Amino acid sequence: MKVCISCGMPMNSPEDFPLGDVSKDYCIHCARPDGSMQSFDEKLQGTTEFIIRTQGFDAKVARESARAMLSRQPAWKSVSQ
């Protein structure tokens, strides 16, 4: 089992990978439609929206939570935002 370097999601089956490509280190939720990995800004926006939708957080708090969560992932450790 692989774990997404961008969000930490476990990837157990080909459906979890962009375009079913199990050689990728990131999941389908962190990929653009062409299979390339989203940028930090794209992932931050999507994660913020997900937190607002699922947790009901205020936009500012959701963005801070998303930034904190993403900063712990291997793909974003060197991103200084």
Distance separating alpha carbons of residues 42 and 64, to the nearest angstrom: 15
Give this prediction's pTM: 0.88
In a domain, 81, yes or no: no
What is the share, in percent, of the chain residues with pLDDT greater than 70?
98
Residue-range definition of the domain harbouring residue 15: 2-76
Q: How many domains does the chain have?
A: 1
The confidence score (pLDDT) of residue 79 equals 79
In a domain, 18, yes or no: yes
In a domain, 20, yes or no: yes
Quick check: 81 pLDDT over 90?
no
Packing angle between helix 40-55 and helix 59-71, nearest 10 degrees?
A: 130
SS3 label, residue 21 = coil
Q: How far lies 55's CA from each of 6, 33, 36, 48, in Å?
A: 20, 26, 28, 10
Helix (H) / strand (E) element for 11: namely strand 10-11
34-61 pLDDT tens trace = 999 999 999 999 999 999 999 999 999 9
